[in-house]
Structure 1
Amino acid sequence: MSIVATLATHTSDVLATPAAPAALATAHFAAKLAFETDCSDVFSALSTGADDFILLDVRSEAAFLQQHAKGAKNLPHRQISAERMALFPTGKTFVVYCAGPHCNGADQAAYKIAKLGYPVKLMIGGITGWADEGLPFAQGENMVAPAAAEQAKQKETQISCSC
């Protein structure tokens, strides 16, 4: 049995704009992977004890205390500063996430962190992607847990990421 290639007689909407040549596609996707990672890879790395990155939840403290990716630390993107970043161990890459694809809080955080001179990647999907993957959540456990912990316990509605 042989497979015979046939020439398309009609260009589909998929290829109305032709695919990039392989060399350009390789460069594009390599660059994209330098900026992003996904929930599954983060979880897998944390599960095997990886310590070369810090998973940073950049949503509000109240949202973090209610539920966050297991292993994450919290620093709301609006509070990112040289002083706050200096509290973390040196020599680590930061992996940031926010609410999900409908939110740009992680992009804002990644920009601020990179501007301060730290290596950073975005965890695509955010907390929404983490949930979609069925990965474990944690509650509480903030680096600093002031009154927001009590506020989170009292609220039964969804807490905003505050982006």
Structure 2
Amino acid sequence: MTNTLRFPPADPEAAAAFFAAELAFEADPDDVVRDLESGDTKGFLLVETRGAQAFAHARIPGAVNLPYAEMSAESTEDLDRDTVYVCYCESFQCNAATKGALRLARLGFKVKRLAGGITAWRAAGYPVEGDGVEGVTCAC
């Protein structure tokens, strides 16, 4: 038996449920950039969950900074509860987006995480702004 098939695949119904659930938790950079480019951002907001210094250095255009360490009922009281907050951080190796999404969810907000963070965003060649990115299109 191959290593690939050592563990049998799930039946199609279970696989469909699993992958649908996965998509409920993450947003793809390609989908987000298409929405940003078309101006169709109704219903979601990009949230950089690292600190202010990281946000100043490099951020996705249109994102707001809401550091996960500062999230509380008080700091989020003015946020729209009908908006989906798409949290991102540096990359898959950073868990600030996960921590931010968890805190927002526990506070009653709808959330997703941007797959791959700003590293995947930059690797795809998408625009980044900030005081540390002049002339940089990719941090590959």
TM-score between both structures, scaled by the size of structure 2: 0.88
Q: Secondary structure at the match of 1:28?
A: helix
The residue that corresponds to 2:112 in the other structure is 121
Q: Secondary structure at the match of 1:109?
A: helix
Q: How many Å separate the matches in 2 of 1:42 and 1:99?
A: 16
Q: Secondary structure at the match of 1:96?
A: strand
Instruction: Indicate which of 50, 60, 66 corresponds to 1:69.
Output: 60
Q: Which moved more, 1:86-95 or 1:40-49?
A: 86-95
Number of aligned residue pairs: give it: 131
Post-superposition, which runs of at least 4 consecutive aligned residues in structure 1 deviate over 3 A? none
Q: How many Å separate the matches in 2 of 1:74 and 1:13?
A: 43
TM-score between both structures, scaled by the size of structure 1: 0.76
- Kindly provide the amino acid, as one letter, of the partner of residue 27 in structure 2: T
The residue that corresponds to 2:14 in the other structure is 24
CA contact (8 A) 2:50 2:65 kept: yes
Query: Which structure would you say has the larger RCO, counting Cα contacts within 8 Å and 6 or more residues apart?
Result: 1
Q: How many Å separate the matches in 2 of 1:105 and 1:87?
A: 21
Larger radius of gyration: 1
Q: Secondary structure at the match of 1:65?
A: helix
Q: Secondary structure at the match of 1:32?
A: helix
Q: How many Å separate the matches in 1 of 2:90 and 2:114?
A: 11
Q: In the TM superposition, what is the alpha-carbon distance from 1:86 to its structure 2 partner? A: 2.1
Q: CA RMSD in A?
A: 1.3
How does 1:1-163 map onto structure 2 within 5 Å? 11-49=1-39, 50-139=41-130
Q: In the TM superposition, what is the alpha-carbon distance from 1:88 to its structure 2 partner? A: 2.8
Q: Which runs of 5+ in 1 are unaligned?
A: 1-10, 141-151, 153-163
- Kindly provide the amino acid, as one letter, of the partner of residue 135 in structure 1: Y
Identity of aligned residues (%): 37
